């Protein structure tokens, strides 16, 4: 229950704390506002990925292992790159976009962890059968 509450609190904080000046109109006048908005969106995706990693670690009950957490940092970078490419074509960003990006970042971490776990278990099965 605490983990779900922590997740909801982080999502709400992510939406509320973003800078007010990061909002842009439908016709931006300078590229600085566009770049700042793009930076805030990318930061939100990275925060979503790292939140999913922390919640996964809390759920596991294992002691903290920085080596396992390093893969989630790589996932956060991948999520940030994907989001920055996708949102570079947008003209305006509102609060719903920040929520979608946060949850997308979390989804990237969960998906890549499942893929790497499936590959690791398949490799373990091949080495034990040979």
Residue 90 belongs to some domain of the structure: yes
Residue 26 belongs to some domain of the structure: no
Residue 24 belongs to some domain of the structure: no
What total number of domains does the chain contain?
Answer: 1
Residue 86 belongs to some domain of the structure: yes
Q: Going residue by residue through the chain, which has 130 residues, state the pLDDT in tens, using 9 for 90 and above.
A: 566 656 666 665 555 555 554 555 555 554 545 777 888 888 888 888 888 888 888 888 888 888 878 888 888 888 888 888 887 777 778 888 888 888 888 888 888 888 888 888 888 777 766 5
Residues with Cβ within 8 Å of 124's Cβ and at least 6 positions away in sequence, in order, are none
**H or E element in which residue 2 lies:** helix 2-17
Residue 22 belongs to some domain of the structure: no
Residue 40 belongs to some domain of the structure: yes
Print the domain residue range for 79: 2-15+31-129
Supply the pTM of this predicted model. Answer: 0.64
């Amino acid at each position: 229950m605490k983990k779900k509450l922590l997740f909801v609190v982080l999502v709400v904080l992510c939406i509320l704390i973003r800078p007010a000046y990061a909002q842009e109109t439908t016709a931006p006048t300078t590229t600085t506002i566009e770049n700042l908005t793009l930076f805030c969106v990318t930061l939100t995706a990275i925060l979503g990925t790292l939140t999913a990693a922390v919640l996964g670690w809390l759920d596991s009950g294992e002691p903290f292992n920085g080596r396992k957490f390093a893969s989630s940092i790589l996932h956060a970078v991948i999520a940030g790159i994907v989001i920055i490419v996708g949102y570079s074509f947008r003209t305006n960003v509102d609060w719903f976009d920040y929520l979608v990006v946060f949850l997308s970042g979390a989804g990237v971490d969960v998906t890549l962890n499942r893929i790497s776990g499936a590959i690791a278990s398949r490799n373990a099965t091949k080495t034990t059968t040979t």
